[in-house]
Amino acid sequence: EDQVTQSPEALRLQEGESSSLNCSYTVSGLRGLFWYRQDPGKGPEFLFTLYSAGEEKEKERLKATLTKKESFLHITAPKPEDSATYLCAVNTDKLIFGTGTRLQVFP
């Protein structure tokens, strides 16, 4: 059965304290891995698509990387406005989401 697991469930960081979020997956046929950001009361907002091991994408303080079994979302020098839930999803002929990592960044 296709499965996506995200860790940690919750993460509290001081402003400027860099860290990484993990997304591990076991799927029969990966056709892409996606990262989304979700703010309270809103739908998920697309961040990145990764297709093959070794691929990296960057946007502002965020960098996503992909291996054959997992993906990391690296957050460099986070700011309070980066506080949100970060969702990972895999495309296996349907988009399967993980349960997310709730990130809180304190000033």
Q: Which residues bind another protein (CB under 8 A)?
A: 4, 6, 31-32, 34, 41-46, 49, 87, 89, 91, 93-100
Q: Which is nearer to another protein, 78 or 98 (CB)?
A: 98
Q: Which is nearer to another protein, 72 or 97 (CB)?
A: 97
Q: How far apart are CA 42 and CA 7, in angstroms?
A: 22
> Of 22, 26, 27, which Cα lies nearest the Cα of 11?
22
Q: Which is nearer to another protein, 27 or 96 (CB)?
A: 96
Closest separation in Å from C-beta 43 to another protein = 3
Closest separation in Å from C-beta 42 to another protein = 5
Q: Is the distance from CB of 104 to CB of 83 less than 8 angstroms?
A: yes
Q: Which is nearer to another protein, 78 or 100 (CB)?
A: 100
Closest separation in Å from C-beta 9 to another protein = 9
Closest separation in Å from C-beta 26 to another protein = 16
DSSP letters spanning 46-89:
EEEEE-STT-EEEETTEEEEE-SSEEEEEE-S--GGG-EEEEEE
Q: How far apart are CA 9 and CA 99, in angstroms?
A: 8
